[in-house]
Amino acid sequence: MGVVEKIKEIEAEMAKTQKNKATEYHLGQLKAKLAKLRTELLEPTSKAGGEGAGFEVQKYGHGRVSLIGFPSVGKSTLLSTLTGTDSEAAAYEFTTLTCIPGVIHYNDAKIQLLDLPGIIEGASEGKGRGRQVIAVSKSSDLILMVLDASKHGIDRHKEILTHELEAVGLRLNRSKPQIYFKRKKSGGVSFNSTVPLTRLDE
């Protein structure tokens, strides 16, 4: 029985159990089990991760590009077409469950392309293993948003993806802030800015 099935079973048992003084301890035990299973679902333990089960892939080549998008928008197909890597693609959502790397050879450059599992709304808060997916994209040199033009509300999808990525500190289509830090020999930090600071107190 998988983690999702166990969660559903516990939720069904909690719904059937009457809430009173006699069942208070039992409901508390069920809630603890439910919390543990949900944590396991979002961040699997190292024991559960066998070969190829992890998200982090060693950097390779001259640059790294992450394919980010909702489930079933064509990320795996794009990776397979560009790199020749076999990435499973199917008609159902969440076909890709781990990070699948491929390499594009362009002139004399090797560009690593990462097919990441689809992210959903609330990924920055941990929904659907979103934190793990976004953590891999943070180590990339370029993030490529993949959107399905045939789906309704494509602008809304782009807004959601942008919001999820910016919620964890990724700056999309913006230059680095013009801030300079320098360690002092005597200890502490010297802070200089080249622009007026409107949201920082002295």
- Categorize the per-residue pLDDT at 44 as very low, low, confident or very high, splitting at 50, 70 and 90: very low
Task: Check pLDDT > 70 for residue 52.
Answer: no
Task: Check pLDDT > 80 for residue 199.
Answer: no
Task: Check pLDDT > 80 for residue 37.
Answer: no
- Structural contact between residues 184 and 190, judged by C-beta atoms closer than 8 angstroms: yes
Q: Could you give the C-alpha distances from 142 to 62, 106, 109, 112, 139, in angstroms and in order?
A: 12, 16, 15, 10, 9
- Categorize the per-residue pLDDT at 51 as very low, low, confident or very high, splitting at 50, 70 and 90: very low
- Structural contact between residues 71 and 94, judged by C-beta atoms closer than 8 angstroms: yes
**What's the rounded mean pLDDT across residues 174-184?**
74
| pLDDT of res. 47 | 44
Closest CA to 99 of 62, 63, 146, 58: 58
| pLDDT of res. 45 | 44
Exposed, middle or buried by CB within 10 Å (0-12, 13-18, 19+), for 126? middle
Task: Check pLDDT > 70 for residue 145.
Answer: yes
Structure tokens at 133: 């997916």
For tokens 């069920």, the residue is: 30
- Structural contact between residues 74 and 157, judged by C-beta atoms closer than 8 angstroms: no
* 105-122 pLDDT per residue, tens: 888 889 888 888 777 777
Structure tokens at 172: 């999309």
Task: Check pLDDT > 80 for residue 36.
Answer: yes
| pLDDT of res. 115 | 83
| pLDDT of res. 126 | 67
Structure tokens at 125: 């808060």
Could you tell me if residue 96 is left (phi over 0), alpha (psi between -120 and 50 degrees) or otherwise beta?
A: beta
Q: Helical H runs in 51-122? A: 75-83
